[in-house]
Structure formats: structure tokens, C-alpha cells
Amino acid sequence: MDMNLREKVKKSASGKLPAMIDHRRHFHRNPELSFAEERTAAAIADSLRSLGLKVETSVAGHGVVALIEGEAGAGPCVALRADMDALPIEEKTGKAYSSMNMGVMHACGHDAHMAMLLGAAQILHELRSGFGGTVKLIFQPAEEQLPGGAKAMIEAGVLQNPDVDAIIALHVSPDMPAGTLGFCSGAFMASGDEINIRLSGKGGHAAQPDKTDDVVLAAAQLLVNLQQIVSRKTPPALPAVLSFGKLIASGAHNILPDEALLQGTFRTFDEVFRAKAKEMIRQIASGTALAHGIEAEVIIADGYPVLHNDLSLTARLQHLANQIFGQEWVRTLPMRMTTEDFAYYSQKIPACFIRLGTGNEALGIRAGLHSPLFDIDESAMQHGAAMLAASAITLLNEGFPQENK
């Protein structure tokens, strides 16, 4: 990226930090849950229209899409994506900009994601004479809830008209110092499927277990049996997690219930093994139930696929981050077992999902994602907006490296 243009991007991002903070705090005060982001979408559309952009609304629900055309001629298209939805969490930060919607909170940083993309839009609009081609701005609903807004937006044609050649997104990370940028090439975030198993049998008096079907014992045995999928059936070099966070068997001290419900999650980084593991879950549940003389119903809700960061694209953007901010601000990250529906885009076109540090121990900003105490060091947003804008300009002006698949 041309040094002069690089400095213009950084200066513009710094100057727009107050506006980004205002946007972020507005969104934070007024959070909306997945598939209900109506007021959020309206505020985004108004901000984009104020730049003179043509805005498409109600895309796959409450999605918002806008285009910024470069003035240096025709060219490819780069998409920048931010998610919009909040979580069903009661905020406990006590901040002046705390959520005014009881039981709903931006505890995953989507308020900052939207603010940074609006900031990047302003930067790109100002500097549009310095690049050719098109930047597509994608404000996506419903990242937090299956089946996810990304899949619906893709089905609605968000990657066409014009065809998107690459897509980039940022996600805040409270475990990284504010303003740092993290990159991981290849498989970055896991697939995630929701496991629901219902065991049914004959309940009765706990003092007469011989006259009942003990679904509690069966559930305990099933939990142990299922762990062999990770310990004995998963290739040793492949990360995988099978965890159960809920077991309901509503009996009592002297009552054996007739039903037990188990709920958990399975995560991995290989789509072929993912399908195989889900079939093993069904088989082990059926076999365990048969051994106990009860019934097993297994329902697996397919979650998000593996998020794959294009190798060459990610290397290019990590190099760009080093150029813009210096190596002390850039990190190479390991894979994560968390999930993200940005993965759907990465299955279709070259993609790069970047982490942005927002933690600050000195300010007491250390709470993790999805915590009622979550907050961010808002100064990090200038680096996020600059990275988004500079990435788009660089790819439009210098082309699209891609890994050989």
C-alpha cells in the first residue's frame, strides 16, 4: 500500500474515533436480539445514507448492504462485514452507556463491529479517488443464533451484484491488548453442532429400581461412552471437543424419572470427520439405550461450519498490518474452538477473519466475551476501522492473492 495513502487512512481513522465511540455507545444502549435488529438496521441505514450511499435494507431479515464505488476505474469487489445482534444477558457494568433494554446486552462486541464498519465506510468514501473497483458493506443480522444470518444473506444474493472477490471481518478480543491485531491462516474457528439427546423409560420408586428403567444411570453411562469419540475415534492431530453442559432428570430423592435430557456441543476442524462424529453420537446413544432397555431420541442441530482463513489473503493482510501499525501491534494466533457464522462466507470465497484486541488491564477492562461485565477499550476502534479500510483499498489496487486449494 502506498505510504501516503496508508498515512491518510490512519489519520482519517484517528479523526473518526469520536464518531465511532458515539455510534458504539448508541448501539450499546439499544441492543436487539438475533432476528430482531430493526432499530439497529434503521440507524445504520441512516448513517450510510448520510454519506450519499445507495442502501439496501431488509436483506435476509434486517440486513443492510451498501456499495462504495472507487473513482480510479472499474475493478473487483471486496466485502467488509459486521454483525449486528446482541445477547440475552443482563448487563452489570454500571457504565453510563449501559443497555436500556432489560435482559439484552452487546456482550460480544457487535456494537463495536458496527461502529468500526461505519468508520471504515467514512474513510473509504473520503478516499474513494485512491482506488478502483467496489467495496460492499455488509451489516449482518443474527450471528448469535442458529441458523445464523450469514447463511440467509448468502442465499439472498449478498455475494453477487457485484460478485464479491474477497471478504474481511473483525472481531473484538478482550484477551488481547487494545489495538493489537491477530491473524491465523487456514482453519481458524471450529464447526459447532448442538447435541440434544432424550432418554425415555419407565420411572418409579427409587427403592424398587428393578421395577423401573433407570434413565439417570443410563444418562451417566451415556456421558462416559460418548467421550470415546474424542479420546479414541478422533485422529490424534485433529482438535475436537464434545462437551455436555446440561443434564435434566427431574426425579427426586426417592423417585426415578421416566425421562432424562442431555444437551451439549460438538466442535472440530474437519468437515468429513464432523459428519462421521455426529453419526457416532447417534450410534452410541442408541446402543447405550438398548443396553438399558430404554429409548433414545437424538436431535443434532447443525451449527456453523469451519471458518477457513484463505492462506494467501491472510498472509497479505497480516503483512499490511505490520506495515501500517508495526510488528509490535500484530500477532499470529492459534486456532480457536469457538464458532462464527462468518464461516459460511469463508466456504464460498476467499475470506479473512481478524481479531482486534480490546482489553486494558489498567482500565479494568478484562471481562470475557458473553459476560455481563464485558466492555471494551474504545480507543482500539481506530485501529479496527483503519485495518478494514486499508485492507479493502490494498486488495482493490493490488489484486487478490489466493491459496491453491
Tell me, yes or no, if 143 is annotated catalytic. Answer: yes
d(CA 169, CA 352): 7
Nine cell digits for residue 276: 462421521
Cα distance from N-terminal residue to C-terminal residue, the chain: 26
Q: Which is catalytic among the residues 32, 37, 85, 270?
A: 85
Q: Which is catalytic among the residues 143, 144, 270, 375?
A: 143
Report the relative pairing of strands 191-200 and 295-301 from DSSP bridges. Answer: antiparallel
Tell me, yes or no, if 270 is annotated catalytic. Answer: no
Q: Within 13 A of 194's CA, how many CA atoms are on the CB side?
A: 9
d(CA 305, CA 343): 6
Let me know: does 294 contact 213? Beta carbons within 8 Å. Answer: yes
Place of cell 491518510: 8
Q: Which of 184, 129, 140, 136 is nearest to 163 (CA)?
A: 136
- Those residues with Cβ within 8 angstroms of residue 232's Cβ, 6 or more apart along the chain or in another chain: none
Q: What DSSP state is assigned to residue 106?
A: -
Active-site residue numbers? 85, 143
